[in-house]
Amino acid sequence: MTLDLRDVTGVPGHSAAFDYSPDLSELLSESVLAVVGDARLRGSVRNDAGILTMRAELDARLLCVCARCLKQFELDASQTFEVTLSESEAAEDDPEYYRVESAAIDPGAVIVSELILRSEQRLLCREDCRGLCERCGADLNEGDCGCAPEGDVRFAVLSQLLDG
C-alpha cells in the first residue's frame, strides 16, 4: 500500500490515515517462518509543526523457531510504533528517523524495518527456555535427560589427574 503524503507534507495539522493488511513477507527468515493469519496495521502520518510522525498499531502473529530448543511457536508481534519521518539525507544513517524519498510511503515497509531494528535479541519460545542438552539433544524443558551436568567438567579434570 502506498500512502500519499502530498496533502500532509506542507500543511501543519494535516494527517493521512491507513488501516489495511500489510505485507510482512520481508520479515521471513530462518527464525521467522510465516505470518499467521492476516496482519493488520492501522494508524496515521501527521504533520506536527512541520515534522512528520507516523503512529501505528500492528496486530500480527508470527510463526517462529526458538533459538534454543528449535521448537516452533507463535509469537504475538502486536505492538505500537511512533516513527519520525524525514526527507533529509542525514536521516539515512540515523535510527531515530525513517528516510522518505518521495511524497508517499508504504506504512508496511516502515513497520518491517522498525521490527527488524527491534528484533535484535534472539527469538525464544519463552524467556527461560532451557534449550537442548548439548550431549544428547533432549529438550530440557521436558525434564532432565540424565546426562551429567556441565559442572562435572571439574570432576573430569580431577579423574584425569587420578588416572595419570
Site residues (vs Zn ion, CB under 5 A): 66, 68-69, 125, 129, 133, 135-136, 138, 145, 147
In the complex with Zn ion, the residue whose CB is nearer, 109 or 147, is: 147
CA 161/CA 19 separation, integer angstroms: 69
CA 42/CA 111 separation, integer angstroms: 11
Q: How far is the CB of 152 from Zn ion (least distance, A)?
A: 12
Q: How far is the CB of 127 from Zn ion (least distance, A)?
A: 10
Q: How far is the CB of 148 from Zn ion (least distance, A)?
A: 9
CA 44/CA 29 separation, integer angstroms: 28
Please, are residues 101 and 70 in contact by the beta-carbon 8 Å criterion? no
Please, are residues 79 and 60 in contact by the beta-carbon 8 Å criterion? no
In the complex with Zn ion, the residue whose CB is nearer, 109 or 129, is: 129
In the complex with Zn ion, the residue whose CB is nearer, 1 or 147, is: 147
